[in-house]
Structure 1
């Protein structure tokens, strides 16, 4: 409700068990306990100094609940229940007759603010999605204001997952609401102790993860711990051990971490970068990315959070100062490269993490850029070659971590991972190479170079350097595999995967952009983010009020709230593969234009030039277009709608034949249609 501390496990006063709450007790134990003892337990558990406002708020909550819980029967009361993924705490959780009530109090509040409603709903959804013993429980989010009377707007239990819409109630009618719900029907009996000890398996967005890691939480605290995702922490620890080994024996190493879309490659990189952040020693590291929007969004998100955290603790810091601190942790790879050009000495970092390393430039593009932008004629190094040379300036040790996404090269001049390997093989043979065991896959286009390195004692292959389970779509881990099958025209395999996850991960299609907008708004609850994405080559969507040539600010689009017309929530501005690569939304609308068309002979690739579509003949450009759709179709965490417009018979640039084949192909896979 006020300043939120990091997760802390505290003693449960009545049963002496660990709990995520500051105070937990049976209803009978709570009613029998002196008010001051409850308040004392809360104060002792807080990691922040408890000011008068917080103390008064707790007193009001304690007195209110003591006055209304007695007639409601047995149950459990938990104050300040920690929500790890969100880094916040629920004011009160009540476990009554097999149901979970999530109570958020706004002390002195006289009206129900949208932000408060969303916050309360988010807490309930977080429990439902990530707290194992809440998966099959009815959850009632309840927003309580204490500065008004006579208010009760009861939420409806409409959703299939049994999370009710938020109930909005004034404190004087909270007891009435609870009696209404509990008087209708009780759920299956709940073991309250088992509920509290239930595993928490969070799947944070990359922004949430970066924020938590920047606060010095470990990847183990914020990532799933189930069997399917356990290799995330294992991969992070493997990379950390390679860094420590290189330092201890004074050698230079480069390692390649692979993973399916959404598996957590960036999360591993951020975790490693935060582990080795001692600028005063040789363990200083930096996370680098050529993905400008990702760097800008993460930098802004971390700066905003730093300002907020400082404010909560009574200190002031400007956003500019906060941004400067973040830039020591996260940088655009081009800034690192430019500094290496200006200063020939060894860089301060012994460890560099290159995210989306497959997007580094090849020799031709690097040489062209150096001549045009830097005035360096005859530059003869590709971007991977130059970046390795910067770390090779260290006389003792250095480590480069390359995070690699297969099939995600989306722009002309991107070298792919083969260039990194070839440079190491031919120019830096003394470096140790640690390869993911999956790097031989066709989507990484590195098989020939790896084969040429066979037998080299400095080359090591390790299963722990691959992340095989997508955590982005926590409702269905096989979505990325499904997308691969769709784009590879494997109809039967795609249809089989769709049948597996369709119940948990809604994936539908329509011919109408307006229908897609309505569907997205209906699906999203709380602050769940949604938005429209399109290919950067989708130039004939203007009749649908979608113009990819209108620049979108990715920071505003991804971070601003639903009140801001520039945010993704407004469904007016669209993002392309360049703005969304490496990021995600809860609900995504993919608008499919005629640049990639399905015809009887397979995919046809087109670019709109002048006033007409032209065939794309170059294999690399065809690959970039296919990969663009791979990126777009793997951005959703909870569900997706695909829009394939009808086209317009009287417009030769949008004839229905350009679109109907694609729609029919998606129909053949079994994707459900909505209108």
Structure 2
């Protein structure tokens, strides 16, 4: 049997074993030598547990149970009367720290949602701070069967366990089967990057069987194309498409990690023009490595290693600008969010600032030309998000095909048949896109299952129907997903804040997000022109005022694209409003709103809201202010249209009677 805990036994045997026998089993399985402090903590835990559990007639116990793949360890798991008790010990602690409470709740939620044998179980998290004052508790169960955490000390653990066991009888289960149960998580992109960097594969870190299957097949196809290109000295470009949250970035990180092989002269690198994504992932990997290595690696050394794995695409590009003719060390480059690469005009404007005159290439053309410098073989993997272009000058997929058709017809081009969707082609025919190319169709290069919203996989389809003004489909999809994935609307920002705080458990992250064009929400403290530091917003804890938890700093589409949080407040301003039954795009300039007339700018704004509405993993609330008719920049009609449109879809209003 897979050894997932340092020790496990039935309760009777545990209570009769000697301290040395139990400590011996723990020491046998721990990868580290037990220092004196750790040994003293184990001794205290074991003696206390033996004392309080001897009165419980039957059950099982595991010490230091490792949550598969995530790498975290639960101090104690007790199964008795059909109930799972999750214990987090803080030996010698005289208070109940928030981080300890959050930690045990995180463990309970991880088991509930991603551990197969725990899904139907009642789970009770307990924090045992041995020297803390006694706390009364109310036995409150959430709808998913996870109870509110119970706080215990040395004296109250025994009575509390007895009381709980008497009140919460359920069907008994086989603990050995529970110990080896499959664990199928859906990590955030940050957690996934950390797991991949530790050596796990995409199949190991995906909860959804369909999602894991898709990710594995896509990875397999890409590896085959790389090997084929290497063997036959070919140059190939692959376009990986998919719905928001389907795992495109995850696939790219996986390939970069798997093929990060200097010794085989095929060094792969993950490149992104998304500055916040690069900053957040790099900082997350560095923090995780330092934590795991327990001081054996410096932050400078870790940063250097991570920088070779994840790079900013603009730094990569600038290295090879004329007059440089340098050949890249990388044979495999993964371009994340490749649809955001610049047009020829936008690139030329930038190059003028770099004193490179007469520039006549789009960014896709230049990036391909850099990889084309290899004499033998090279592979480019473009991760493409349909409908994700959000800024002036972002070229979309078309510029890549234009560059290939006009300048690099010798490259092999691999696409999925689903690339025909209008979000990718912008209305162009496939014949015009692919004319003259060495084209190969691979179905597995499209990811159709969203992994971000593990509570419901239909969120991206719902958002698409909402933005496409497809009312019947939006109504249908909302009714299907609203039970497992709450979406509500409110006209009170305070109620919205209260809602996300109440929904969040443990360290589930919540935050305030809005369009970068939402410039008339400043009266509510939503100041989108103030830049956030993404690393702090996404990674720092509830004690840090710079973190998303404080709901003081607002992340825009540029900060959050490619990333996610558990619960979101989406603040909707008058930049994208409903007029006469249709969305209209506006831009606030000077002291008034100006209608957006350019088609590409209208598309960017629509895509901005697509990004914002697909960032939450577990649910979101849309805040739409009421407006003020005395203020011509915040007229009620600017906001009422979108409010009533969302109501017509069926989106429920949050605490209508209490709103102000």
TM-score, normalised via structure 2 length: 0.96
Deviation at 1:198, TM superposition (A): 2.8
Contact 1:84 1:222 in 2 (8 A): no
Q: 2:67 aligns with which of 69, 73, 83?
A: 83
Deviations 1:328-350 (A, max 9, x none): 11111000000011631211111
Q: 1:438 aligns with which of 418, 443, 446?
A: 418
Deviations 1:237-294 (A, max 9, x none): 2212222222222211110111111111111111111111123431211100010111
Q: 2:243 aligns with which of 221, 237, 260?
A: 260
Deviation at 1:155, TM superposition (A): 5.4
Contact 1:439 1:446 in 2 (8 A): no
Higher mean displacement: 598-607 or 290-299: 598-607
Establish whether residue 22 from structure 1 lines up as the match of residue 6 from structure 2. Answer: yes
Q: 1:375 — aligned with what?
A: 355
SS at the partner of 2:418? coil
Establish whether residue 111 from structure 1 lines up as the match of residue 95 from structure 2. Answer: yes
Using the alignment, how far apart are the partners of 2:228 and 2:166 within structure 1? 63
Structure 1 runs, 4 residues or longer, greater than 4 Å off: 453-457
SS at the partner of 1:320? helix
Summarize the alignment of residues 27-106 of structure 1 with structure 2, pairs less than 5 Å apart: 27-84=11-68, 86-106=70-90
Task: Count how many residue pairs are aligned between Structure 1 and Structure 2.
Answer: 654
Establish whether residue 211 from structure 1 lines up as the match of residue 194 from structure 2. Answer: yes
Deviations 1:51-84 (A, max 9, x none): 3332332232222222222221221211111123
Higher mean displacement: 441-450 or 626-635: 441-450
Deviations 1:124-179 (A, max 9, x none): 11111111222222111111123x16523435324111211211111232111100
SS at the partner of 1:614? strand
Q: 1:223 aligns with which of 206, 214, 238?
A: 206
Deviation at 1:206, TM superposition (A): 0.8
Deviation at 1:388, TM superposition (A): 0.7
Deviation at 1:306, TM superposition (A): 2.2
Q: 2:328 aligns with which of 320, 335, 347?
A: 347
Q: 1:628 — aligned with what?
A: 608
Deviation at 1:229, TM superposition (A): 4.1
Deviations 1:415-462 (A, max 9, x none): 101111221122111111111221111111267464246586831111
Name structure 2 gaps, 5 residues minimum: 656-660
Higher mean displacement: 437-446 or 514-523: 437-446
Q: 2:118 — aligned with what?
A: 134
Contact 1:82 1:90 in 2 (8 A): yes
Contact 2:211 2:451 in 1 (8 A): no
Using the alignment, how far apart are the partners of 1:71 and 1:493 within structure 2? 58
Q: 1:571 — aligned with what?
A: 551
Using the alignment, how far apart are the partners of 2:283 and 2:27 within structure 1? 33
Using the alignment, how far apart are the partners of 1:252 and 1:604 within structure 2? 44
Using the alignment, how far apart are the partners of 2:434 and 2:539 within structure 1? 46
Establish whether residue 422 from structure 1 lines up as the match of residue 402 from structure 2. Answer: yes
SS at the partner of 2:86? strand
Residues 102 and 543 of structure 1, relative CA distance in 2, 3 Å threshold: same
Q: 2:638 — aligned with what?
A: 658
Q: 1:466 aligns with which of 439, 442, 446?
A: 446
Contact 1:453 1:459 in 2 (8 A): no
Residues 446 and 674 of structure 1, relative CA distance in 2, 3 Å threshold: closer
Using the alignment, how far apart are the partners of 2:171 and 2:111 within structure 1? 18
SS at the partner of 1:171? coil
Aligned Cα root-mean-square deviation (Å):
1.8
Using the alignment, how far apart are the partners of 1:291 and 1:281 within structure 2? 29
Q: 1:13 — aligned with what?
A: none
Summarize the alignment of residues 280-319 of structure 1 with structure 2, pairs less than 5 Å apart: 280-310=263-293, 312=294, 314-317=295-298, 319=299
Using the alignment, how far apart are the partners of 2:401 and 2:170 within structure 1? 59
Residues 132 and 80 of structure 1, relative CA distance in 2, 3 Å threshold: same
Establish whether residue 480 from structure 1 lines up as the match of residue 460 from structure 2. Answer: yes
Q: 2:127 — aligned with what?
A: 143
Residues 99 and 423 of structure 1, relative CA distance in 2, 3 Å threshold: same
SS at the partner of 2:622? strand
Using the alignment, how far apart are the partners of 2:158 and 2:225 within structure 1? 58
Q: 1:357 aligns with which of 338, 342, 345?
A: 338
Summarize the alignment of residues 145-184 of structure 1 with structure 2, pairs less than 5 Å apart: 145-146=129-130, 148=131, 151-154=134-137, 156-184=139-167
Name structure 1 gaps, 5 residues minimum: 1-16
TM-score, normalised via structure 1 length: 0.94
Using the alignment, how far apart are the partners of 1:227 and 1:194 within structure 2? 24
Q: 2:658 — aligned with what?
A: none
Deviation at 1:203, TM superposition (A): 0.5
Using the alignment, how far apart are the partners of 1:190 and 1:413 within structure 2? 59
Establish whether residue 516 from structure 1 lines up as the match of residue 500 from structure 2. Answer: no
Q: 1:606 aligns with which of 581, 586, 598?
A: 586
Contact 1:422 1:449 in 2 (8 A): no
Contact 1:511 1:646 in 2 (8 A): yes
Using the alignment, how far apart are the partners of 1:298 and 1:149 within structure 2? 37
Deviation at 1:32, TM superposition (A): 4.3
Deviation at 1:493, TM superposition (A): 0.8
Using the alignment, how far apart are the partners of 2:77 and 2:401 within structure 1? 53
